[in-house]
């Protein structure tokens, strides 16, 4: 079959079309990052060849010196980036350039607003890699051949990003990939030797591969006045390395500046923004390894997809082994980016071996402590920066106490909450702050759980706490109920859900108050029995309470029962839940309860008791099983009161 017969036109995956549209019409101000992204891809291709060649040295094809080359043609207005890395087969080209295999892509694209400026800021969260070429180019050609394949198995891919691409088989003698960017007319500035050299030094100085360009032409030698210029044979220009080509993490911290750290972060993470902070360490002793760990400024688009790939880049003796080695950090730190380079691990290690190797467990423990120390330092010295971090990653960090028992106390100190201390939605108060403000005699950390901040803030359950000036944590993240069930205590103080069990304020209440409560309970004994007989199918128990000051009633569950919010989450997830009935607590000082107590008409009493129960259910964020009956009863009562 002829080469031309192998040519075909194919359509892009829908998500790619949307992403290309975003690239082409991008208002992203920093267009020059396209070169960093493409050099990073070329560097990854070289790393992958090194790794595969550990088992099959023939893949080097007598060309073991890995490199990246950049050429440009001012007249044709093109830039070419070529590498002699792993290359791609025809199927890999279609998979890698025609589709986006990232899980969560659809969710990311749903967040696009249509406002080009806002959408351009989302690019960095996604990590667009190859597609960034279309920020500056209106057509891209890729010529590639996979290492180990025959010269006749080369592939040419071309697209003007208009919804489809052409792919054909070509002859390609050398392995690897060559990208040719046909620049847009107004991006001709990039087809320039000085500009390209500066960009390489700015963004890719410390990748471990040489990035080469042709030597600059030597200026003509000046001649003496009246002397004929000598004609010399033109010297053949050689390729020279433009970057330092030294793996950044192998340098000592004193050799590096902040800008170099930031640019390397963008290389390993494909993020467009600077990191919040980083930690660079070399460990010597029983285990020898170097780590460079970064905390990003923005959460990645797929952070909540626990099946998405995450982890550090693993090198062994500076040889790339794998991307996304998730075994070195726990899941709740999956947002951390960076590199770990070990001198002790075997070069032929696999993901399966990583899971069983005791050395990995030790490194995981040490790296986890390193990250937590980095965050603790930020929280102490840069509270504003930590507030920025918490806004992006706080909910993920809340997974920590359940996943990492060894570091539970350390993670607990990093947690931030909304509380009744300032009644603001921003989660800024630590458990140490809370404990430091606890009242004399208070021995528990009180919290309320709801499905929104406003519901938590207005919960009837915290009325007596407000009255007595006792601070309450206002928990409204979906994970919060699960979090406190695993925390159990902090600094020797137990956590107590204010909507569970009978209220006991411990040493905050004096004996006189407790005696008065017992007398009130006895006084309203008949009312309690009457309400319970009317609502026996809906309640486990009825009792008077002193936890309410403004509301007539509230619902509580048993001390060891599942909370109402967690129950709703489990039911929404389709989990079958055992039948459970709440306890109705009545505020004996509220006018509605006084009216209920004085009501002689049994039918009206039943209606009012049902209304009070339903209102208590609504106040905690619940949904009524029969809202129509509630409305009918309420309207009936309102009409009677108006007559």
Q: Which pLDDT score is estimated for 573?
A: 67
Q: Which pLDDT score is estimated for 338?
A: 94
Query: Could you read off the pLDDT of 345-361 as tens digits, one per residue?
Result: 876 676 677 777 788 88
Residues 186, 302, single domain; the answer is no
Mean pLDDT of 588-612: 91
For 40, the domain range is 4-216+237-241
Chain-centroid distance, C-alpha 352: 25
Q: What's the predicted TM-score (pTM) here?
A: 0.74
Residue 224 belongs to a domain? no
Residues 266, 208, single domain; the answer is no
**Total tally of structural domains belonging to the chain:** 4
Residue 409 belongs to a domain? no
Residues 349, 458, single domain; the answer is no
Mean pLDDT of 601-608: 90
Q: Residue 234: which pLDDT band, with cuts at 50, 70 and 90?
A: low
Residue 104 belongs to a domain? yes
Of 151, 134, 128, nearest to 40 (Cα)? 128
Residues 120, 194, single domain; the answer is yes
Check which CATH number belongs to the domain holding 278 and give it: 3.30.230.80
Residues 255, 359, single domain; the answer is yes
Q: Which pLDDT score is estimated for 411?
A: 96
Q: Which pLDDT score is estimated for 109?
A: 54
Q: Which pLDDT score is estimated for 403?
A: 92
- pLDDT for residue 246 is more than 50: yes
Residues 90, 196, single domain; the answer is yes
Q: Which pLDDT score is estimated for 330?
A: 94
Check which CATH number belongs to the domain holding 109 and give it: 3.30.565.10
Q: Which pLDDT score is estimated for 368?
A: 96
Residue 171 belongs to a domain? yes
Long-range CB contacts (within 8 A, 24+) of 300-303: 300/125, 300/126, 300/127, 300/335, 301/104, 301/107, 301/108, 301/111, 301/122, 301/125, 301/126, 302/102, 302/103, 302/104, 302/107, 302/108, 303/334, 303/335, 303/393, 303/396
- pLDDT for residue 103 is more than 50: no
Mean pLDDT of 93-98: 82
Residue 390 is encoded by which pair of tokens?
């918490």
End-of-domain residue from the set 450, 474, 505: 505
Q: Which pLDDT score is estimated for 222?
A: 59
Residues 139, 74, single domain; the answer is yes
CB contact set of 560 (below 8 Å; sequence gap of 6+):
none
End-of-domain residue from the set 461, 484, 505: 505
Alpha-carbon gap, residue 460 to 531, rounded angstroms: 20
Residue 493 belongs to a domain? yes
Q: Which pLDDT score is estimated for 127?
A: 47
Query: Could you read off the pLDDT of 21-32 as tens digits, one per residue?
Result: 766 665 455 788
Q: Which of 204-208, 246-250, 483-487, 630-634 has the lowest mean pLDDT?
A: 204-208
- pLDDT for residue 4 is more than 60: no
Q: Which of 39-48, 77-86, 211-220, 608-617 has the lowest mean pLDDT?
A: 211-220
Residues 41, 179, single domain; the answer is yes
Alpha-carbon gap, residue 352 to 264, rounded angstroms: 29
**What's the longest Cα–Cα distance across the chain?**
126
Check which CATH number belongs to the domain holding 476 and give it: 3.40.50.11260
Residue 25 belongs to a domain? yes
β-bridge partners, 177: 83, 144
What is the overall mean pLDDT for the chain?
85
Q: Which of 9-13, 189-193, 230-234, 267-271 has the lowest mean pLDDT?
A: 230-234
Query: Could you read off the pLDDT of 288-342 as tens digits, one per residue?
Result: 999 999 999 998 877 877 677 788 988 888 777 888 888 899 999 999 999 999 9
CB contact set of 266 (below 8 Å; sequence gap of 6+):
33, 36, 203, 272, 274
Query: Could you read off the pLDDT of 463-522 as tens digits, one per residue?
Result: 999 998 999 999 999 889 889 988 989 999 999 999 888 887 766 666 777 788 888 888
CB contact set of 498 (below 8 Å; sequence gap of 6+):
446, 447, 448, 459, 461, 462, 465, 472, 547
Q: Which pLDDT score is estimated for 86?
A: 93
Residues 128, 277, single domain; the answer is no
- pLDDT for residue 5 is more than 50: no
Query: Could you read off the pLDDT of 42-84 as tens digits, one per residue?
Result: 988 998 898 889 889 999 999 999 999 999 999 999 999 999 9
Residue 572 belongs to a domain? yes
Mean pLDDT of 209-231: 72
Q: Which pLDDT score is estimated for 509?
A: 67
| 411: phi then psi, degrees, rounded to nearest 5 | -65, -40
Query: Could you read off the pLDDT of 425-471 as tens digits, one per residue?
Result: 999 999 999 999 999 888 999 999 988 999 999 999 999 999 989 99
Q: Angle 612-445-368 (CA atoms, 0-180°, nearest 5)?
A: 125
Mean pLDDT of 225-231: 62
Residues 68, 209, single domain; the answer is yes
Mean pLDDT of 246-257: 90
Residues 489, 516, single domain; the answer is no
End-of-domain residue from the set 185, 207, 241: 241
Q: Which pLDDT score is estimated for 2?
A: 44
Q: Which pLDDT score is estimated for 219?
A: 62
Q: Which pLDDT score is estimated for 125?
A: 44
Q: Which pLDDT score is estimated for 124?
A: 45
Query: Could you read off the pLDDT of 531-565 as tens digits, one per residue?
Result: 999 998 899 899 998 888 899 999 988 877 776 67
Chain-centroid distance, C-alpha 609: 47
Check which CATH number belongs to the domain holding 520 and give it: 1.20.120.790
Residues 369, 475, single domain; the answer is no
Q: Residue 126: which pLDDT band, with cuts at 50, 70 and 90?
A: very low
Q: At what angle do helices 627-642 and 602-619 cross, to 10 degrees?
A: 120
Residue 62 belongs to a domain? yes
């Amino acid at each position: 079959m002829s080469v031309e017969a192998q040519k075909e036109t194919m359509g892009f995956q829908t998500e790619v079309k949307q992403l290309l549209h975003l690239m082409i019409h991008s208002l992203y101000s920093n267009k020059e990052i396209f070169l960093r992204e493409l050099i990073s891809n070329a560097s990854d291709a070289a790393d992958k060849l090194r790794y595969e060649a550990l088992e099959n040295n023939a893949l080097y094809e007598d060309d073991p010196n890995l490199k990246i080359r950049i050429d440009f043609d001012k007249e044709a207005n093109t830039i070419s980036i070529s590498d002699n890395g792993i290359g791609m087969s025809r199927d890999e080209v279609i998979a890698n350039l025609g589709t986006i295999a990232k899980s969560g892509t659809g969710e990311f694209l749903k967040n696009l607003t249509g406002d080009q400026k806002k959408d351009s800021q989302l690019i960095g969260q996604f990590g667009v890699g190859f597609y960034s070429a279309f920020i500056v180019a209106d057509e891209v050609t890729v010529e590639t051949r996979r290492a180990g394949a025959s010269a006749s198995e080369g592939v040419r891919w071309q697209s003007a990003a208009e919804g489809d691409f052409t792919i054909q088989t070509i002859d390609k003698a050398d392995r690897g990939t060559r990208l040719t960017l046909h620049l847009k007319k107004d991006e001709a500035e990039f087809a320039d030797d000085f500009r390209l050299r500066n960009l390489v030094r700015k963004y890719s100085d410390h990748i471990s591969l040489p990035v080469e360009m042709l030597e600059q032409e030597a200026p003509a030698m000046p001649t003496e006045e009246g002397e004929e210029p000598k004609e010399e044979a033109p010297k053949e220009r050689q390729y020279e390395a433009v970057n330092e080509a030294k793996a950044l993490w192998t340098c000592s911290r004193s050799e590096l500046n902040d800008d170099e750290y930031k640019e390397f972060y963008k290389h390993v993470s494909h993020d467009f923004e600077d990191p919040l902070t980083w930690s660079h360490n070399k460990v010597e002793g029983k285990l020898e390894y170097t780590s460079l760990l970064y905390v990003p400024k923005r959460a990645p688009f797929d952070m909540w997809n626990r099946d998405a790939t995450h982890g550090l880049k693993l090198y062994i003796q500076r040889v790339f082994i794998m991307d996304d080695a998730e075994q070195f950090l726990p899941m709740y730190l999956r947002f951390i980016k960076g590199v770990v380079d070990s001198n002790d691990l075997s070069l032929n290690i696999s993901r399966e071996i990583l899971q069983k190797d005791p050395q990995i467990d030790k490194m995981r423990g040490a790296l986890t402590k390193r990250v937590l120390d980095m965050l603790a330092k930020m929280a102490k010295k840069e509270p504003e920066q930590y507030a920025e971090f918490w806004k992006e990653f706080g909910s993920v960090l809340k997974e920590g106490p359940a996943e990492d028992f060894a570091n539970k106390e350390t993670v607990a100190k990093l947690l931030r909450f909304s509380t009744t201390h300032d009644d603001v939605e921003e989660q800024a108060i630590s458990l140490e702050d809370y404990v430091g403000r606890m009242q004399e005699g208070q021995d528990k950390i009180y919290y309320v759980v709801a499905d929104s901040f406003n519901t938590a803030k207005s919960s009837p359950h915290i009325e007596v706490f407000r009255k007595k000036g006792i601070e309450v944590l206002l928990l409204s993240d979906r994970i919060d109920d699960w979090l406190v069930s695993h925390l159990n205590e902090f600094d020797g103080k137990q956590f107590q859900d204010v909507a569970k069990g009978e209220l006991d304020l411990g040493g905050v209440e004096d004996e006189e108050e407790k005696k008065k409560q017992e007398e009130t309970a006895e006084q309203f004994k008949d009312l309690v029995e009457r309400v319970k007989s009317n609502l026996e199918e809906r309640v486990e128990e009825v009792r008077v309470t002193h936890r309410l000051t403004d509301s007539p009633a509230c619902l509580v569950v048993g001390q060891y029962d599942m909370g109402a919010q967690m129950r709703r989450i489990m039911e929404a997830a389709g989990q079958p839940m055992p039948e459970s009935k709440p306890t109705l607590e009545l505020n004996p000082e509220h006018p509605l309860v006084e009216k209920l107590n004085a009501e002689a008409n049994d039918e009206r009493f039943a209606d009012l008791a049902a209304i009070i129960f339903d209102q208590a259910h609504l106040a905690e964020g619940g949904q009524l099983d029969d809202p129509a009956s509630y409305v009918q009863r309420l309207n009936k009562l309102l009409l009677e009161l108006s007559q």
